Amino acid sequence: MFARKRTTYADGTREVYATITPVNSKIPWLPSELHPGQRAERCPRCGAIGLIPWTLRRDPKSVTPVRTWVCTQCQITEERPEPD
């Protein structure tokens, strides 16, 4: 599912086409807390240090696996290519 999504980057806000994970799909829960020692980044939506790497999937059309990141504070999800 593709949808337009407004994303705030450090250098401004851009509207991008992003893959949105529908709520209540195959994912039964979203993480809501950081584990000790968990690597986390600043969330582009709520600004909390709570964006964590979550599920990994492979797109058949791409050689690069895609990592879904999720914010433990506001539950926004973001998909990024996973670096090797």
**In this chain, which of 46, 53, 55, 68 binds Zn ion, going by CB under 5 A?**
46
Within 63-82, which residues bind Zn ion (CB under 5 A)?
71, 73-74
Q: Does residue number 52 form part of the binding site for Zn ion (CB under 5 A)?
A: no
Minimum distance between the CB of residue 7 and Zn ion, rounded to whole angstroms?
A: 12
Q: Are the C-beta atoms of 32 and 38 separated by less than 8 Å? A: no
- DSSP codes, 2-51: EEEEEEEETTEEEEEEEEPPPTTSS------SPPTT---EE-TTT--EEE
Min CB(33)–Zn ion separation in Å: 13
Which residues are near Zn ion by CB under 5 A? 43, 45-46, 71, 73-74
